[in-house]
Amino acid sequence: MLDEKYVSEIVAKVVKSMDVEDACRKQKGVFDTMEEALEAVTKARELYRGYSIEQREKIISCIRKLILEEAGEMARLGVEETGMGNVADKTIKHQLVANKTPGTEDLHPVALTGDQGLTLIEMAPYGIIGSITPSTNPSETVLCNSIGMLAAGNGVVFNPHPNAKKTANYAVDLVNRAVLEAGGPENIVVSVKNPTMDSSNVMMKSPVVRMLVATGGPGVVRALLSSGKKAIGAGAGNPPVIVDNTADVKKAAKDIVDGASFDNNLPCIAEKECFAFADIADELIDEMTKNGAYLIRGEQIDRLLKIALIEKDGKYVINKKWVGKDAKKFLKELGIESDAKLIICETEEMHPFVQVEMMMPVLAVVRVKDIDEAITMAVRAEHGNRHSAHIHSKNIDHLTCFARAVETTIFVKNAPSYAGIGAGGEGYTTFTIAGPTGEGLTAAHSFTRQRRCVMVDGLHII
């Protein structure tokens, strides 16, 4: 007979010793307090001011190299710590950051010349940027923001999501190792060991922090915008996808399953509800099930609702325990054994699976009679976030009308949602998509101040 008390005491001891081990392994750039982190990055930034663009680029190359070497490890750590997403897709996200986040080439100065001489507009660093990062892409956001912010000449202080601090701080350590390997200053990117709301407040209020960047849900974006500082807010989405009767239905079905199941639907850009023309809906659902989706019906939908969402004051909110979990785990709860990567179900427009940003591999499909109805419902489901929306159609009028009506930062046509951040689509990648403050897909240029330098009568050579 096992003595449960004895076993749990041993487990507690082992866990404690692991924590101590973790704490002993000093991570570069990770400090006990926000005050220490701010002091260190201030010193580093003084040195970094003197670095040339070429030196910045050398640092960025080293960061890219280390990300590619350690992508799998960070993906594993992210899944282990947060219990969300899956290792294969998180590995791809890290590779995307390494390969497609712009560096210093993103900084384009402007020259205006004329009868009165030459005026130059240069993209100058802000100084030190305070960055708040989410639990859904913890290391990806730290790495992507670091590349862009360092390319622009800034130092960075992170206050990561408390539930993903180990993964985020692994990334901070990685960046510092790369910076040192490239001959850069230590602590140009810093963080705190145990981020809290208090450390976040210290960071936001610190006079050395000249710009704030927050990637997360509505709460953090609101807090940031009331900080009184220059702020970039990358907030929540609830991306709809429309499929009309001119679409290549087989391809649309595969693309939607691939996009909506990617990293268990954690990405803010991922398809979160589908509006399908009634005359192709059966075929679409059938094709989805051939591409890794599992269709649930009737009381199975009601049971899944009770698992995934919680009713609070007449409104549904997500059950955080289930965010980013594998589809097969949900199915198991319903008594179904399946390796499906996405659960689909038919619902009405106002069903919570349509209206709530769930970040779970669950996609509701709503039948619509025509494009007007599809657009009206899709715009309502997007809730004015102006984040991302997607469509499968060959009708140019449908594509154009939806894009105009929904006004999102990202709009993907005839591809999985992730094409919008450069995976299988043209364009660079980012994990900070700034809808509310309008910078769009952030990159080095977003983290700069424009400075004008005027030379009258000289240097105009024609």
The residues binding ligand NAD (CB under 6 A) are 132-137, 160-162, 197, 200, 215-217, 219-220, 223, 234-237, 268, 357, 431-433
Helices 138-151 and 53-82 cross at an angle (nearest 10°) of 170
At its nearest, how many Å lie between ligand NAD and the CB of residue 220? 3
CB 257 to ligand NAD: min, Å? 20
* Measured distance CA(302)–CA(319) in Å, rounded: 15
**Do residues 159 and 203 make contact, with C-beta atoms less than 8 angstroms apart?**
yes
What minimum distance in Å lies between the beta carbon of 419 and ligand NAD?
16
Whether the Cβ atoms of residue 141 and residue 94 lie closer than 8 Å to each other = no
Q: Between the CA atoms of 418, 422, 427 and 429, what dihedral angle is there, to the nearest 10 degrees?
A: 100
With respect to ligand NAD, which residue has the nearer C-beta, 104 or 432?
A: 432
User: Measured from the CB of residue 226, what is the shortest distance to ligand NAD in angstroms?
Assistant: 10
Which residue lies nearer to ligand NAD by CB, 161 or 254? 161
- Select 117 or 352, whichever has its Cβ closest to ligand NAD: 352
Short-list 46, 121, 28, 92, CA closest to 455 = 121
Order of strands, sheet of 388-392, starting from the edge strand that comes earlier in the sequence: 293-295, 342-346, 362-368, 273-277, 240-243, 388-392, 410-413
Least Å distance, CB 87 to ligand NAD, is 19
The 448-456 sheet, strands edge to edge: 110-114, 117-125, 448-456
- For ligand NAD, the closer of residues 139 and 393 by Cβ is 139
d(CA 243, CA 414): 9
Pick the closer one to ligand NAD by CB: 224 or 340. Answer: 224
Please identify, using beta-carbon distances, which residue of 70 and 357 lies nearer to ligand NAD.
357
Give the 3-state secondary structure of residue 459: coil
151, 142, 144, 156: which is closest to 182 by C-alpha? 151
Is residue 35 within 8 A of residue 202, CB to CB? The reply is yes
**DSSP tag of 386:** -
* Closest chain position to ligand NAD (CB): 216
Cβ nearer to ligand NAD, comparing 104 with 131: 131
Nearer Cβ to ligand NAD (315/332)? 315
The least CB distance from residue 387 to ligand NAD, in Å, is: 6
Minimum separation from the CB atom of position 101 to ligand NAD (A): 13
CB of 377 to ligand NAD, least distance (A): 20
